[in-house]
Structure 1
Amino acid sequence: MTRPFRRRVLYLPGFDPMPPRRYRELYRRESRKQAQVGGYDLTMEKPALGSGFGWRTRAHFPEGEAEAQVEVLVWADMVQASMQGGILATYAQMVRTAWIYIGSGALRRLMRLRRGPVLAALYPFAVLLLQLLGAIMVAALVGWAVAALTGLSWLAAILALAAAWGTLALAERQDHRLFAHYLMHDYAFTASLQGAYPPGLEARLAQFADRVSHALSEDIDEVLVVGHSSGAYLAVSLLADVLRRGAVTTHSPALALLTLGHVVPMAAFLPRAHRLRADLSYLSDKPDLFWLDVTAPGDPCSFALCDPVAVTGVAGPGQRWPLVISAAYTRTLSPRQQRALRWRWFRLHLQYLCAFDQPGDYDYFAITAGPRPLAERFAGRRPSPGRITTPAGPGLP
């Protein structure tokens, strides 16, 4: 009897303060939908003891059977810590982040790629400024009314300040709908050291590298690292570290990298992102892995079809990775599903991890739980038309 195909999946989320169980429940819900569409059977189980937070899958596909152990590489605690500053800290981050992106020329370089994600990046700045303007107007109105009624200028000033603060606090409490504060924290974290990784994040990446290296020593068929959004560029640095360690040997399972909805230029174009730019260049010509990059023009939060290596300006003559393809929402989502997701920017950015009702060759659940390695599944696949390779970033020193 042929043994099932065995895989370890290590999933690296983007800048997300939510606990990792969110991804387990998302996988559970969406895998059921995709399995029905795809005509295969996929079940989830509890993970093995000591394997970190995650789950196991067992799947039956027409091509064969497969087992996978999925682990979420958790850094949500670091995200949560970076979001604790309050309203004044958020506005201070806004000023500093704007200064870094504009003063360094990164914003100008980003505008040369795709304006969609840049406009999405400007969204929190616009919303926060509008909220501040609204708070000032409310304060002026309250101050005028109190002064007119009481003639006490000191009372008018106090109540005006209280009204302004209350307006800003109310706006912050609505951020679960607007996401302006959340996005501001995201961009501020990326720009906190002008593109260099904070020491705490470097330490966490080293821990993740230990997990990947351990997986590469197991008796399995494939180790698949998945990075989504900001997690995509962290996954690049993670695998660059793993390869530099020499963790891949002739006896190792196949190593694959899947980057989804990447925002690499937002980090790589910053002045001190030397580490990330070097990692992109290093990984781009290595024969020890297969790297697939998936984006979609219908996702306004990603740099769709931008080759993250080439546009950063670090591609060498031997570049072989990544293979850049489109999730092609206009073809892989039915008109009904497209209408349901219209204007839901964040849900569209998460779609790579969800079910498609008209899937093409990109099927997240077949990739992570099916019996074919990523390199075999996309062997001979050409990059999608419209791939952008024109260098716009600062390149290597």
Structure 2
Amino acid sequence: MSSQNPQQQVRRRRVFYIPGYDPYPPRRYRELYRSEAQAQAEISGYDIFVSAKSGDGPYGWSVNSSQDNERIQTDVEVLVWSDIVRDSMARSIPATYWQLLRTAWVYISTGTLWRLMRLRKGPVIAALYPVGMLLLQLLVAMLVIWGVVAALGPWLGSWGWLAAAAGGYALLWWFRRIDNRLFVYYLMHDYAYSARLRGRTTPELRERLRNFTDLIARALDTDVDEVLVVGHSSGAHLGVTVLAELLRRQPPSGPTLSFLTLGQVVPMVSFLPDAHQLRADLQYLSAQEGLFWVDVSAPGDGCAFALCDPVAVSGVAGPDKRWPLVLSAAFTQTLSAERWRALRWRFFRLHFQYLCAFDRPGGYDYFRVTAGPLTLRDRFANRAPSASRIDQTVSKYTSVHA
């Protein structure tokens, strides 16, 4: 799975992309890749062409690129779990408020919330945002009910009370209907899914991750030069579990195995009391010679635990820890001042910037990583980790055994 040869030329690559908590179909990632790859190619001066995938297997696309006088062919496949996400989001309005109470109780009663606040404020604010907005929406609905009751006064009969309650609920329904602009219910379901089992992986997701492991294992038996696993947002900790299981199964051999995590939110799960398996996977993967793991984030991304070493802050870094190499995408430097101003307050868009074009690309370029002539190891082997990374133990819970 890993080659130690210096500057290994990559001519064929398999990329497995693990999305975050996203209910949308995988074709949106193909269109994002296609449009942003073309934009980056025009900026950086290389050629890249995206076409439909041929054959069976997971949803994906093919990439042909000419970079640094080399031609590279890449097959990208999306490891889909959006159906599980959609099922977890199928909740009524009262059920979502129950999720709010249960999730808040888990994070507050276990002390996890206070520990997370010692890392980065941005993702904690993002976590509190749906709580505050749902309570605000409930308050507005109650004010509507109170207004109807106050207006009708002594003429209010049983039907009037029912009409007032219906008006309040209709307002809550309207808030949910426009959630594609507010992201309140979406984020609430996201955090509730992680907290539902206090950090343990749900049975249906655990089975899906085993399927992902099988797909990657089969790719390592092909004649490609590199197998690259990319985990974005929540997909980062899913990738940790998948690759830890893979490396426990079989010894390193064949193509180079690389792991790229982007905008990770690992502490939201690894800090929970029952996340024993995830912490064990982090500890195991961080010590393996059979892969090269780079973690890229940016302080400008308010939805990620930027520059927080997920192994170290989770309290499971051992003496033989090698990974991850924590690097900054440095949005304020790699985006022009004009583009940074346009994106600065678009928090969810910035959370996807790692998958997009940079108009002032630095050391990190998603399309060179996924479609260029160098392995992840060769591209970043001489890079020092970010000096501003957080690599001290912060989690209250560090056990790797249930």
The Cα shift of 1:145 comes to: 1.8
Match of 2:20 among 14, 23, 48: 14
Cα distance in structure 2, aligned partners of 1:364 and 1:335: 20
Deviation sequence 1:186-207 (CA, Å, 0-9, x none): 0001111110000000000000
Match of 1:395 among 371, 374, 398: 398
**Alignment partner, residue 266 of structure 2:** 264
Is residue 296 from structure 1 mapped to residue 302 from structure 2 by the alignment? no
The Cα shift of 1:65 comes to: 1.3
Query: Within 5 Å, which residues of 2 pair with 1:1-397?
Result: 5-148=11-154, 151-246=155-250, 248-250=251-253, 252-393=254-395, 394-397=397-400
Which has the higher relative contact order, 1 or 2, with Cα contacts under 8 A spaced 6 or more apart?
Answer: 2
User: Is there any run of 5+ residues in structure 1 with no aligned partner, and where?
Assistant: none
| 2:183 alignment partner AA | F
How many residues are paired up? 392
| 1:84 alignment partner AA | A
Cα distance in structure 1, aligned partners of 2:198 and 2:50: 41
Cα distance in structure 2, aligned partners of 1:132 and 1:277: 37
The Cα shift of 1:116 comes to: 1.5
Calculate percent identity across the aligned residue pairs: 55
Cα distance in structure 1, aligned partners of 2:19 and 2:381: 26
Preserved CA contact (<8 Å) 1:144 1:156? no
Cα distance in structure 2, aligned partners of 1:271 and 1:342: 34
Cα distance in structure 1, aligned partners of 2:268 and 2:124: 9
Preserved CA contact (<8 Å) 2:10 2:374? no
SS in 2 for 1:355: coil
SS in 1 for 2:352: helix
Cα distance in structure 2, aligned partners of 1:285 and 1:4: 25
Cα distance in structure 2, aligned partners of 1:314 and 1:63: 43
User: Is there any run of 5+ residues in structure 2 with no aligned partner, and where?
Assistant: 1-8
Cα distance in structure 2, aligned partners of 1:106 and 1:100: 8
The Cα shift of 1:374 comes to: 0.3
SS in 1 for 2:229: strand
Cα distance in structure 1, aligned partners of 2:125 and 2:85: 23
The Cα shift of 1:53 comes to: 0.3
Cα distance in structure 1, aligned partners of 2:30 and 2:149: 51
Cα distance in structure 2, aligned partners of 1:357 and 1:302: 22
Cα distance in structure 1, aligned partners of 2:296 and 2:168: 44
Cα distance in structure 2, aligned partners of 1:195 and 1:188: 10
Preserved CA contact (<8 Å) 2:300 2:344? no
Cα distance in structure 2, aligned partners of 1:180 and 1:51: 34
| 2:399 alignment partner AA | L
| 1:277 alignment partner AA | R
SS in 2 for 1:257: strand
Cα distance in structure 1, aligned partners of 2:353 and 2:214: 29
Preserved CA contact (<8 Å) 1:58 1:66? yes
Preserved CA contact (<8 Å) 2:149 2:156? no
Q: TM-score, normalised by structure 1?
A: 0.97
| 1:134 alignment partner AA | V
The Cα shift of 1:4 comes to: 6.4
RMSD: 1.2
Q: TM-score, normalised by structure 2?
A: 0.96
The Cα shift of 1:48 comes to: 2.5
**Alignment partner, residue 4 of structure 2:** none
Deviation sequence 1:68-111 (CA, Å, 0-9, x none): 00000000000001111121111010000000000111101111
Preserved CA contact (<8 Å) 2:282 2:311? yes
SS in 1 for 2:192: helix
| 1:14 alignment partner AA | G
SS in 1 for 2:119: coil
Cα distance in structure 1, aligned partners of 2:252 and 2:290: 9
Cα distance in structure 2, aligned partners of 1:302 and 1:52: 27
Cα distance in structure 2, aligned partners of 1:90 and 1:317: 43
The 10-residue stretch of structure 1 (203-212 or 48-57) with the greater mean CA deviation from structure 2: 48-57
Preserved CA contact (<8 Å) 1:143 1:159? no
